[in-house]
Amino acid sequence: MQGDEERDAKSAMLRGLRLRCPSCGRGRLLSGYLKVKDSCACCGQALHHASVDDGPAYFTLMVVAAIIFPLFGVIYAVGEPEPIWVALSMMVLATVLALLILPRVKGVFIGLQWAKRLFGF
């Protein structure tokens, strides 16, 4: 059967991390911030099958927490800053990190789904 060859999950996930098509690596994966394109403009690979739901959000939350919580400890170990300023700066940092990381994690999830032929890929 045509198309039964093994797909490389690592390269597909890296392409997704760069927000590129998991098949060719050239076309854009998302239109806008988080909306998945219907198909790749370069190779024609259908992308509308992607069903990533809440996975990227949960994973992004874990990554941001793994960065923010140790940073709290370091800040308080080094000195005694005003708690309100630490809280505000950490909220801003957490928000910016989440906004930067979320589309890339979604791309990684789509790349993995494509490589494993899940959800009609």
Work out whether strand 30-31 and strand 35-36 pair parallel, antiparallel, or are unpaired.
Answer: antiparallel
Residue 93 domain-assigned (yes or no):
yes
Which pTM value belongs to this model?
Answer: 0.88
Residue 14 domain-assigned (yes or no):
yes
**What single-letter amino acid sits at 33?**
Y
Structural domain that includes position 69: 9-120
Residue 26 domain-assigned (yes or no):
yes
Token representation of residue 99 = 């906004």
Number of domains composing the chain:
1
Label residue 3 by pLDDT band (50, 70, 90). low
Residue 44 domain-assigned (yes or no):
yes
77-118 pLDDT tens trace:
998 889 899 999 999 999 999 999 999 999 999 999 999 999
Residue 1 domain-assigned (yes or no):
no
Q: Is 51 helix (H, G, I), strand (E, B) or coil?
A: coil
Residue 3 domain-assigned (yes or no):
no
Q: Are 52 and 109 in contact (CB under 8 A)?
A: yes
38-87 pLDDT tens trace:
999 999 999 998 898 899 999 999 999 999 999 988 998 998 889 899 99
For the chain, the farthest-separated pair of C-alpha atoms sits apart, in whole angstroms, at: 66
Residue 4 domain-assigned (yes or no):
no
Q: Are 96 and 102 in contact (CB under 8 A)?
A: no
Label residue 1 by pLDDT band (50, 70, 90). very low
Residue 79 domain-assigned (yes or no):
yes
